[in-house]
Amino acid sequence: NVSSLFCSGSRSSKTFKPKKNIPEGSHQYELLKHAEATLGSGNLRMAVMLPEGEDLNEWVAVNTVDFFNQINMLYGTITDFCTEESCPVMSAGPKYEYHWADGTNIKKPIKCSAPKYIDYLMTWVQDQLDDETLFPSKIGVPFPKNFMSVAKTILKRLFRVYAHIYHQHFDPVIQLQEEAHLNTSFKHFIFFVQEFNLIDRRELAPLQELIEKLTSKDR
């Protein structure tokens, strides 16, 4: 039973999911290096564009893995503040509450605390990223027909972790001097999903004002 497994796990054991590594020497690794180099230039709009001659699925795959690792790390810094007591429901401000369902183990959405929701979410994402039929790491292995819809669901869910951090835990982010890091990561994420139309505008509503503020300087 999945849910009892999470309930019994101690708080500390769930802080970090292992980092998902892209194998060195692979084409995807080269793409990741390219992404890091263009990010270094500071122009995020340029950095998210599909490099010439590259496969869109592969580009989306590499960046999705990268965002998973970034969000994993950012959330890991504030887990002490995100507890069953402080966050009994998974929310992004008073108007937005999220209930968890993955369609397989949990078909009917369940109301759960933010740490439990995020644990479910990150474990689910990790399972998708580790599935070679969905995220093939070997050259020449084709992406499945439904790859884009899977990637969109992953990114939609990862967005909720940013939304929860911004709405409920921004004070500790400032105390930990993580604000610039969080903003840069989120801005990169938003430019990426905007570039390829990967998240429905309605889903982005909890952070709409912030998105406008962060992206208006780079029109």
pTM (two decimals): 0.87
In this structure, the number of other CB atoms found within 10 A of the CB of residue 143 comes to 19
Domain 27-216 CATH superfamily: MOB kinase activator (1.20.140.30)
**Sequence ranges of the binding site:** 82, 87, 164, 169
* Per-residue model confidence as pLDDT tens for the chain (219 residues): 333 333 333 333 344 566 677 877 778 878 888 777 777 666 888 889 999 999 999 999 999 999 999 999 999 999 999 999 999 999 999 999 999 998 888 899 999 999 999 999 999 999 999 999 999 988 778 999 999 999 999 999 999 999 999 999 999 999 999 999 999 999 999 999 999 999 999 999 999 999 999 888 655
Q: Which helix H or strand E contains 183, and what residues bound it? A: helix 179-195
CA dist 216 and 27 (Å) reads 34
Cα 213 to chain centroid, rounded:
20
Q: Which residues are annotated as a binding site for Zn(2+)?
A: 82, 87, 164, 169
SS3 190: helix
Assess contact for 161 and 71: CB atoms under 8 A.
Answer: yes
Residue 188 CA to chain centroid, in angstroms?
A: 11
